[in-house]
Chain A
Amino acid sequence: MEIIAAYGTTMIILAVIFGLYMTWGIGANDLANAMGTSVGAGAVSVKQAIIIAIIFEFLGAILAGGHVTKTIRKGIIDPSGIINNPEILVYGMLASLLAAAVWLMVASAKGWPVSTTHSIIGALIGFAIVGIGPDSVKWTKVASVVLSWIVSPIMGGTIAFLLVMSTRKLIFNTDNPLKNAKKYAPVYIFLVGFIISLVTMFKGLKHLHISMSTGQSFGFAVLFGALTASVGWYFIRNVKEDISANREFSYASVEKVFTPMMLFTACSMAFAHGSNDVANGIGPLAAVYSIVSSGGEVMQKSDLPFWILLLGGAGIVIGLITLGYRVMLTVGKKITELTPSRGFCAELAAATTVVIASRTGLPVSTTHILVGSVLGVGLARGVGALDLRVVLNIVISWVVTLPAGAIMAMLFFFTLKGIFS
């Protein structure tokens, strides 16, 4: 208890620094992946993408980010064994943050496709094993999180597959594809607004002291979907048959309808990312703040302070501005291989999956789900070529990241413990 009283402020400052470092890394890498598809299709410029990211990342973090943060800060570890030594948990959370951030840095430098989510979960487990004891890890919860890493890309892929099939049936394989594209485009945009807002609002805004009945949630979601659909209709109403472009590729005009639609999926991807990935950086930070401010209470009964959510959002935005735009350009260039209609399907599928995962409090990887969605498009024979080596690398990185994060967290934990006591 004395250690917390003596070094409380230092600990919070360290947690803020580590948390910013971690969220900066998430913004530099992850978010750029999530929005690269829209940039590549030319739906938004890099500048616009950053503005969209700032707005929707914050909205995602604030409106729907609480559930995952809760899982990270109290779902994985049971600290009841160290009630008398709260400083252990503080060291552990600091060590986990630092370990995850450093591992991400190493992996990125080597070009391994690791996930921020997987790093932080591995680090938390690692610390808990040595700091509190193997029994303190809630293994059933860990199992459900790991299972979600397998299920979520499959779910994203399935939704993407069905969306591609539906665009074929309703739009491409008809007598007048352009007319049908303009007819059904608002329906797809409605789906974007409706699903994302429904999942977020459905009994999900308790932390903002807004509670809505099922009917109210549905009503608002329909209203919000209609609003996005009408904005979308405004953008696509002027798309005309372009004869010269059609000579090269007969579906060129139809694809042009999908380009502005990717503006909406860019927004929803930023929202989804904010709702899930911000938690990786701020979960441990929130835990440290809660322990120190309560004077050594490890069970963390207090709610998530609002400023921590804002800080997480800010870290991600800084990462995007300083470095993420470069990744966005790299990814964007590659992603022109996806036609706008395919990119739309992949992003909508990924965003939906991530928001559902966020709502259930499962920390998932946005990038991996997007990879799953693109594979779903591929299964619908919708992409020229996909390199499956990347999928193999992702699987390998799963297997490596958990122990790597864990070992680093152990090292940092003992170092911090040595420094403070």
Chain B
Amino acid sequence: MAFLPNSPLSGLLRGSPFKPIQEHMQVVFSCVCLVPPLFDALYKKDSKQLSEVAEQIKSLETDADKLKSTFRLNMPKSLFLPVDRKDLLSLIGDQDHIADTAEEICKILTYRQMEVPEAIKELLDELLEGTMEIASEAKAMIEQLDELLELGFGGREFDKVSQMISGVRRSEHNIDAILHRTRTALFAIENDLTPVSVIFWYKLIDLLGNISDQCENLADRLLLFLSK
């Protein structure tokens, strides 16, 4: 046909970058949600359930990876965005780290048959609960990106999201305290466990702590959006 559809306007408008980020966060959050069931299976010594949950985490982590790559491929330098392009790319990278950490935890629990020492069980539960809380706070924060865009990253949304950011920070601080207590409790029973077990328990505690650290990183990234 002579006149083909040729529209500068349709080329100008690209999909909002916040939608894929929110989708990605949704998947990452689902990954974190499976960490407590993973420990449940460990407590019950139910290896079948453990490997099932582990499989789910692995497949969600792969989904998150794919979303991340697609997002990065669709972010050419010529884009004009309401926030810095680098910050957006780092934000999705940080989100992805959370899923990676969850996967690392489940890998350790699958290749190594871990025994849960009674002395740290309660503290572990507290830690898992705290991790879930901070992850859902981080997710709620990411879900505000649409609303932030509507108000041009200012006004009332600014105040609301600033409060959410300080909420995440507070949670991270609380989790730090729990981590400290858990490590102290583990140190007290070190001699009753095999040395290799002790190494791995320290590692698992560190990894759980990493999840909340990474959630705090997300809050810091969002703060950069607001400060422009």
A interface residues with partner B (beta carbon < 8 Å): 24-25, 28-29, 32-33, 36-37, 104-105, 107-109, 111-113, 164, 168, 172-173, 249-251, 319, 323, 326-327, 330-331, 333-335, 337-339, 367-368, 370-371, 374-375, 378, 380-394
Contacts and interface: CB of A to CB of B under 8 A. Distances in A.
B153 A388 contact: no
A33 B155 contact: no
Interface stretch (B77-85, B108-116, B168-176): B77-85
Contacts, number: 150
A33 to B, nearest CB: 5
A33 B8 contact: yes
Interface of B: 1-19, 76, 78-82, 146-147, 149-156
Q: Which secondary structure dominates chain A's binding surface?
A: helix
12 contacts: A32-B7, A36-B9, A105-B2, A109-B4, A173-B156, A330-B5, A334-B7, A335-B10, A367-B9, A382-B152, A384-B19, A386-B12
B175 to A, nearest CB: 29
Nearest to B156: A173
Given A108-B3, A323-B3, A384-B18, A390 B8 contact: yes
Contact of B8 (A24, A337, A381, A393): A393
- Interface-central residue, B6, B9, B11, by most chain A CB under 10 Å: B9
- Interface-central residue, B11, B82, B147, B149, by most chain A CB under 10 Å: B11
Contacts of B19: 384
A389 B78 contact: yes
A384 B151 CA distance: 12
A249 B155 CA distance: 17
B149 A384 contact: yes
A388 B13 CA distance: 9
A29 B3 contact: yes
Contact of B155 (A172, A339, A380): A172
B10 A112 contact: no
Nearest to B1: A323
A173 B155 contact: yes
Given A386-B12, A386-B13, A386-B80, A380 B7 contact: no
Contact of A111 (B4, B79, B153): B4
B17 A36 contact: no
Contact of B6 (A107, A172, A383): A107
B7 A330 contact: yes
- Interface-central residue, A36, A338, A381, by most chain B CB under 10 Å: A381
A334 B9 contact: yes
Nearest to B148: A381
Contact of A385 (B81, B150, B153): B81
A392 B154 CA distance: 30
B162 to A, nearest CB: 15
A111 B152 CA distance: 33
A402 B13 CA distance: 27
Contacts of B10: 36, 330-331, 333-335
Given A384-B81, A388-B79, A374 B12 contact: yes
A113 B6 CA distance: 7
A168 B157 CA distance: 12
A33 B8 CA distance: 8
A387 to B, nearest CB: 5
Contact of B4 (A37, A108, A249, A367): A108
B82 A394 contact: no
A37 B79 CA distance: 20
Contacts of A111: 4, 6
Contacts of B2: 25, 105, 108-109
A113 B9 CA distance: 9
B6 A112 contact: yes
Contacts of A327: 5-7
Contacts of B153: 381
Contacts of A374: 9, 12-13
A391 B8 CA distance: 8
List 10 A-B pairs, minimum CB-CB distance, nearest first.
Answer: A384-B16, A113-B8, A173-B155, A381-B82, A334-B10, A385-B14, A381-B152, A327-B5, A386-B80, A108-B6
A336 to B, nearest CB: 9
A327 B82 CA distance: 28
A386 B83 CA distance: 12
Contacts of A333: 10
B3 A104 contact: yes
A387 B152 contact: no
A368 B153 CA distance: 27
A383 B147 contact: no
A347 B7 CA distance: 16
B14 A387 contact: yes
Nearest to A21: B2
B53 to A, nearest CB: 29
A299 B19 CA distance: 60
Contact of A335 (B6, B9, B147, B152): B9
